[in-house]
């Protein structure tokens, strides 16, 4: 799929010096795992899962997403958010270590690393899940200056609050001059809102099932990270 939207970057735009990556659904193909498992939990109650519910849950911390799940599906009288998380956990635990990296991720991370552009991860995933999901991808994640996880004590409010991106920005050894110098990569509407509230620019790579009206907050929308053109953002172009 080609580039879907033109970036809002122009010569007056602040130069990008630092990059923050979301993880689930952006670097790793893990949102698919959440979707499959949640679909199967709902099926066991004779209900079906849809993408408007998925869009509300994506990018949120586990308990917040679980509350949305039981309320919106009307299961709140038979399933508590904590019970839902426990059921989901039993199914996800064996799937996470097999998480795959998404197209374009490796090329992009190696490119930024080569050009010494500091990168970090800001994921709503808890530390324990981060470790499981990245087991097969240690080298790629080692290029990150740091990783901020959803259960980090400094992250008071989950996405769409800006906390996680502001905390991630504050932990670079050489700090960005301003949030405006940071480019965020996200797949979820909640994550895009968080980054925009933090004053950062956002490239969104949404799942094709996501309603396009929920993607309007992003500065640029791509079909995949393979479509990312660093020069759109004043960054060095790929060498091949």
Ligand X SMILES: O=P(O)(O)OC[C@@H](O)CO
In the complex, the residues that contact Mg ion under the rule CB under 5 A are: 22, 24-25, 59, 187-188
Q: Does residue 23 interact with ligand X by CB under 6 A? A: yes
* DSSP letter, residue 99: -
- 45 close to 75: Cβ distance less than 8 angstroms: yes
DSSP bridge pairs for 143:
none
18 versus 60: smaller Cβ distance to Mg ion? 60
Q: What is the dihedral of CA 174, 17, 132, 101, to 10 degrees?
A: -160
Q: What's the closest the beta carbon of residue 109 comes to ligand X, in angstroms? A: 15
Q: How far is CA 100 from CA 26, 133, 137, in A?
A: 11, 8, 8
93 versus 229: smaller Cβ distance to ligand X? 93
Residue in 24, 152, 187, 219 annotated catalytic:
24
Pairing of strands 201-204, 220-221: parallel
Q: What's the closest the beta carbon of residue 50 comes to Mg ion, in angstroms? A: 18
Among 22, 64, 152, 232, binds ligand X (CB under 6 A): 22
29 versus 76: smaller Cβ distance to Mg ion? 29
Among 38, 99, 123, 134, binds ligand X (CB under 6 A): 123
Active site residue 187: no
Q: Which does 167 bind (CB under 5 to 8 A by kind): ligand X, Mg ion, none?
A: none
Among 9, 24, 112, 195, binds ligand X (CB under 6 A): 24
Burial class (CB in 10 A: 0-12, 13-18, 19+), 12: exposed
Of 16-24, 73-81, 107-115, 176-184, which part binds ligand X (CB under 6 A)?
A: 16-24
Among 125, 134, 201, 220, binds ligand X (CB under 6 A): 125
DSSP output for 140-188: HHHTSSEEE-TT-TT--S-TTSSHHHHHHHHT-SS--SSGGGEEEEESS
Q: Does residue 58 interact with ligand X by CB under 6 A? A: yes
Q: What's the closest the beta carbon of residue 132 comes to ligand X, in angstroms? A: 12
Q: Does residue 25 interact with ligand X by CB under 6 A? A: yes
Nearest of 96, 60, 113 to residue 236 by alpha carbon: 113
Q: Could you check whether the bond before residue 160 is cis, i.e. omega within 30 degrees of 0?
A: yes
- What span, in angstroms and rounded, lies between the C-alpha atoms of 224 and 183? 16
191 versus 206: smaller Cβ distance to ligand X? 191
Active site residue 24: yes
Nearest of 144, 163, 142, 140 to residue 152 by alpha carbon: 163
Residues making contact with ligand X (CB under 6 A)? 22-25, 34, 58-59, 123-125, 188, 191
Catalytic sites, residue numbers:
22, 24
């Amino acid at each position: 799929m080609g580039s879907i939207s033109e970036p809002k970057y122009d010569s007056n735009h602040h130069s990008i010096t630092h990059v923050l990556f979301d993880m689930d659904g952006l670097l790793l193909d893990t949102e698919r795992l959440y979707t499959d498992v949640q679909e199967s939990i709902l099926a066991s109650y004779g209900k079906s899962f849809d993408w408007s519910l998925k869009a509300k849950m994506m990018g949120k911390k586990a308990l917040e997403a679980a509350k949305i799940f039981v309320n919106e599906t009307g299961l709140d009288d038979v399933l508590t958010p904590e019970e839902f998380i426990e059921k989901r956990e039993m199914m996800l635990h064996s799937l996470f270590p097999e998480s795959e990296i998404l197209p374009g991720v490796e090329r992009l991370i190696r490119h930024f690393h080569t050009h010494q552009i500091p990168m970090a991860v800001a994921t709503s995933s808890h530390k324990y899940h981060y470790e499981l999901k990245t087991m097969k991808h240690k080298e790629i994640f080692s290029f990150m200056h740091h990783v901020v996880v959803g259960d980090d004590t400094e992250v008071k409010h989950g996405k769409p609050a800006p906390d996680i991106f502001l905390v991630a920005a504050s932990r670079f050894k050489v700090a960005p001059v301003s949030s405006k110098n940071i480019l965020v990569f996200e797949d979820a509407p909640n994550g895009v809102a968080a980054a925009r509230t933090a004053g950062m620019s956002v490239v969104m790579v949404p799942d094709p099932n996501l309603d396009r009206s929920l993607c309007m907050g992003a500065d640029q929308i791509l079909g995949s990270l393979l479509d990312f053109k660093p020069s759109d953002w004043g960054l060095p172009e790929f060498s091949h």
